[in-house]
Chains A and B, each alone.
Chain A
Amino acid sequence: MGWARKILRVNLSNGTVKSEPLNMDWAQKYLGQRGLATKYLVEEIDPKTDPLGPGNKLIFATGPLTGTAASTGGRYSVITKGALTNAIACSNSGGYFGAELKFAGWDMIIFEGKAPKPVYITVVDDTCTIHDAAEIWGTSVWHTDEWIKKKHQDPMMHISAIGVAGEKQVLYSCIVNDLHRAAGRSGVGAVMGSKNIKAVAVRGTGGVKVKDGHEFLKATAAGKKVLQENAVTGAGLPSFGTQVLMNVINEAGAMPTRNHRQVQFEGAHAISAEAMATPRKTDGKPNLLTNQACFGCTIACGRISKIDEKHFTIQNKPQYWHASGGLEYEAAWALGSNTGVDDLDALTFVNFVCNEQGIDPISFGATVSAAMELYDLGLLTKEQTGGIELKFGSTEALVKCAELTGKAEGFGKELGLGSLRLCTKYGRPDLSMSVKGQEFPAYDSRGIQGMGLTYATSNRGACHLRSYTVSSEILGVPVKTDPLTTEGKPALVKAFQDATAAVDSTGLCVFTTFAWTLNDIAPQVDAACEGGWSPERMLETGERIWNMERVFNMRAGFTAKDDNLPPRLVKEPAQTGPAKGLVNGLDKMLPEYYQLRGWTTDGVPTNETLSRLAV
């Protein structure tokens, strides 16, 4: 058990819905969520299909522990071919939506085809209905959430929706659930928009069962104790959120600043966790009001913030005068340090807009930052930006860009292309700080060498959540390694990639791995699911998933040439901090990584490797 053993298939072209049994042979090989849904996707779509065409499919998938009492057991993922990357996309979200989908009795929903006109979908236990979305098309995520609950007179529904950005296919638009939790990266929102799906609302009155209730409660209680006693998950994350990293990474000289021109930001303290908790000079109240947990989470790292009502961004805009999802580290960095802006309330406002209209703050911030560099170099002019003075450090410019991109209006349409397409258009593709078209997150790989290999080889394009070696290189979890050397990093990256792929397939949050290893997770999975899930089997499952994703990408047209980094990171040394004088040593790591993976020198998984893993 753990699994509901049922999937819902919604064909939007025909307007049909049907229930299918979950393929349990595949569940035994790929577990759930990321792994299992990717298996369905690679079996069902042509890897070369246009991600925004009707041939692509969009899968909402839970894991076997989603909707159980396991700590953090509320995750779901969106799996599709990414609009931003043309590669496999898998974006993971918390909140309460995933658990509710499971309560309704479904492991996953597969959306296929394209609706002839905008629709939204309700799933209430066994009943799935496709509704006309004419009244909410063109409105925000926040409005859609409120409207659907009112329309169906059910405040207990949980809703995943796209904003105007997703409708207009901003290439890094995301799918937002529960107002401010998001399947954020790779443009999964644009895929949803291309299918004319505005929202999915779920409500479930059934229950999730586990294989052995007694063992399960024992295993999950042991897990919760480990989280509670760990310094990061028990104290750092609940108190400071992921923003606990801001000053740490800045001091490590790994804080990308102004489109990675610098590796330390002089304004870091002003946008840090400490700043969020300090009363503002203007109204004497702090930006941060409380922390919030996602479903079942005993860590509770979420930030709930409120902007000073007199701040210029929200004057006369009462819709922003309430508390909502505040800055996580990635957003604070991308919107702040990477654009050179250190106005905390302005960044919070831009973050609100990202949630309201469904855009990924990482790719958005990085794209604005790339555009600022183009502007700085005179390659992009004020006429072309529609009158915006796009200077590094300009709060007004950042705010304007967010409002325009959220609705894909004016210069926002160009920003909505993402940094690679934008920089290519203006003649400098090398200024896009991205891999496979997806922008870097908040760690400069000159100061944290393992992250260079992580980004270059990530199957969904540059991403920190595929192998978070920061954990080892900076925080010393599970063992401390030197962030400034490439030695040993290929093995470290492979180990993190495989373990993370397994965790992403369970329904649990990857943040648990600051405290948990697979030795803590496997007993929880094993008590819930049939099949004998040992840590070794989990790791092998992760490796199988990694190779399956890699094979999909190769069939989609990616080669070893795409396992790269922008020239800036391998040619321009860091100017300050511990990494001063260093570039990323990707060339030293990649061959060893391929070898450890059992791939050819061209990065192709060998037949031997694929048959060993039974991909």
Chain B
Amino acid sequence: MLKALVIDPGKCTGCKQCEMACSFENEGVFNVSKSRIRVFDFHTEARFVPYTCTQCAEAWCQQACPVNAITTDRASGVKIVHENLCVGCKVCTIACPFGTINYNAATHKVAKCDLCQGNPACADACPTGAITFQDVEQTGFDKMKVWATQAAHAATHQGPNTPAAKA
């Protein structure tokens, strides 16, 4: 089963625990600037939005890489940067429409989310459930359920759910 990060900005408080978990997992230190997931603060609108790589099926970064340093992991669908092959040309950072693959000045390579080999540290660290790791085919189900709930309430309002009503 393929899994994906599901982000619900409505639940985010802007605490940056996800960024800390990511930097520690990947770089061994705590610093949000080394995180591959970022929380954006739209303070005047009272919104905080985590954002990271969505692991495109046909990835722009992968297509653009001139040295084939980005490959797809068959089992997880994750796009992986091979640091031994990456030449730091940054073409992928231009190609990615979402800006989620970025250059690391310390290593002279690019870095992106690789879902922590199937156990994303950000989702573990999120205290409010704003970031979860779910079956990729069901990522919209929570939103669908909200709308389905409205339909349920509307139907209930119209009358009881008896077998006769279904006939």
Q: Which residues of A are at the interface with B, using a C-beta cutoff of 8 A?
A: 67-69, 71, 96, 99, 103, 156, 179, 204-210, 213, 217, 224, 228, 238, 289-298, 300, 304, 306, 322-324
CA distance A99 to B43 in the complex (A): 19
Task: Give the complex CA separation of A306 and B21 in angstroms.
Answer: 32
CA–CA, A177 and B110, complex, Å: 32
* A294 with B20: CB separation less than 8 A: no
Q: A179-B43, A292-B14 are in contact. Are A67 and B31 (CB under 8 A)?
A: yes
B106: which A residues are within 8 A, CB to CB? Answer: 205
Q: How far is the CA of A158 from the CA of B144 in the complex (A)?
A: 38
Contact residues of B between 10 and 47, Cβ < 8 Å to A? 13-17, 20-21, 23-24, 27-34, 43-47
Minimum C-beta distance from A318 to chain B (A)? 11
Q: Cβ of B24 and Cβ of A292 under 8 Å apart?
A: no
The residues of B that contact A156 with a CB separation of less than 8 Å are 33
Does B103 lie at the interface of the complex (its beta carbon under 8 Å from any beta carbon of A)? no
23 contacts between A and B (CB under 8 A): A67-B30, A205-B31, A205-B33, A207-B28, A207-B30, A207-B31, A210-B30, A289-B46, A290-B13, A292-B48, A293-B13, A293-B15, A293-B16, A295-B15, A296-B17, A300-B15, A300-B128, A306-B46, A322-B44, A322-B45, A323-B44, A323-B46, A324-B44
Contact of B28 among A68, A213, A295, A322 (CB under 8 A): A213
Which residues does chain B contribute within 8 Å of A67, judged by CB atoms?
30-31
Check: B77 CB closer than 8 A to any chain A CB.
Answer: no
Nearest Cβ distance between residue A127 and chain B, in whole angstroms?
Answer: 15
User: Could you tell me if B24 and A206 are in contact, using CB atoms closer than 8 angstroms?
Assistant: no
* A69 adjacent to B44 (CB under 8 Å): no
Nearest 4 pairs between A and B by C-beta?
A: A207-B29, A293-B15, A322-B44, A289-B46
**Which residue on A lies nearest to B29, using beta carbons?**
A207
Q: Is the CB of B127 within 8 A of A228?
A: yes
The CA of A210 and the CA of B30, in the complex, are separated in Å by 9
Q: Which of B17, B32, B33 contacts A298 (CB 8 A)?
A: B17
A-B contacts counted at CB < 8 A amount to 90
Which residues of A have CB within 8 Å of B45? 322-323
In the complex, how many angstroms separate the beta carbon of B107 from the nearest chain A beta carbon?
A: 12
Measured between beta carbons, the chain B residues less than 8 angstroms from A69 are 17, 20-21, 24, 30, 125
CB distance from A613 to the nearest CB of B (A): 32
* B15 contact set on A, CB distance < 8 A: 293-298, 300
> How far apart sit A514 and B45, CA to CA, in the bound complex (Å)?
30
Q: How far is the CB of B93 from chain A (nearest CB, A)?
A: 17
- Identify which of A206, A295, A296, A304 contacts B46 (C-beta below 8 A): A304
Q: Min CB distance, A72 to chain B, in Å?
A: 9
Q: Quick one: given A293-B13, A296-B15, are A304 and B43 in contact (CB under 8 Å)? A: yes
Least CB distance from A537 to B in Å reads: 24
Chain B proximity of A170: nearest CB distance (Å): 25
Interfacial chain B residues near A96, Cβ < 8 Å: 16
Q: Given the complex, which residues of B lie within 8 Å of A213, measured CB to CB?
A: 24, 28
User: In the assembly, what is the distance between CA of A127 and CA of B80, in Å?
Assistant: 34
Given A69-B125, A304-B43, decide whether A295 and B16 contact each other with a Cβ distance below 8 A: yes
Interface residues of B (CB under 8 A from A): 13-17, 20-21, 23-24, 27-34, 43-48, 105-106, 125, 127-128
Whether the pair B125, A206 counts as a contact (CB closer than 8 A) is no
Closest to B31 in A: A207
Output the least CB separation between A573 and chain B (Å): 43
Minimal Cβ-Cβ distance residue in A for B38: A156
Cα distance A300–B12 in the bound complex, in angstroms = 10
Measured between C-beta atoms, what is the minimum distance from B35 to chain A in Å?
Answer: 10
Bound state CA distance, A336 and B31, in angstroms? 40
**Contact status A68-B20, CB under 8 Å:** yes
Q: Which residues of A contact B46 (CB under 8 A)?
A: 289-290, 292, 304, 306, 323
Q: What's the nearest-Cβ distance from chain B to residue A606, in Å?
A: 42
For the complex, give the distance between the alpha carbons of A209 and B24 in Å.
9
Minimum Cβ distance to chain B for residue A585 (Å):
42
Residues of A within 8 A of B28 (CB): 207, 209, 213
- Minimum distance in angstroms from A93 CB to a CB of chain B: 16
A291: B residues at CB distance < 8 A:
13
Contact of B31 among A206, A300, A306 (CB under 8 A): A206
Alpha-carbon separation in the docked complex, A209 to B32 (Å)? 13
A234, closest chain B residue (CB): B127
Residues of chain B with a CB closer than 8 A to A296's CB: 15-17, 20
Contact residues in B for A293 (Cβ distance below 8 Å): 13-16
Report how far A298 CA is from B44 CA in the complex, Å: 22
- Which residues of chain B are near A206, meaning CB under 8 Å? 29, 31
Q: Which residues of A contact B47 (CB under 8 A)?
A: 290
Q: Enumerate chain B residues within 8 angstroms of A290, measured Cβ to Cβ.
A: 13, 46-47
Check if B105 sits within 8 Å of A208, measured CB to CB.
no
Q: CA–CA, A295 to B33, complex, Å? A: 13
Give A208 to B28 CA distance when docked, in angstroms. Answer: 9
Q: Across the interface, which residues of B come within 8 angstroms of A300, CB to CB?
A: 13-15, 127-128
Name the residue on A nearest B20 (C-beta): A69
Since A293-B16, A304-B43 are in contact, a sample of 8 more A-B pairs with Cβ atoms closer than 8 Å, ordered by chain A residue number, is: A207-B30, A208-B30, A228-B127, A292-B14, A292-B46, A293-B13, A293-B15, A304-B46
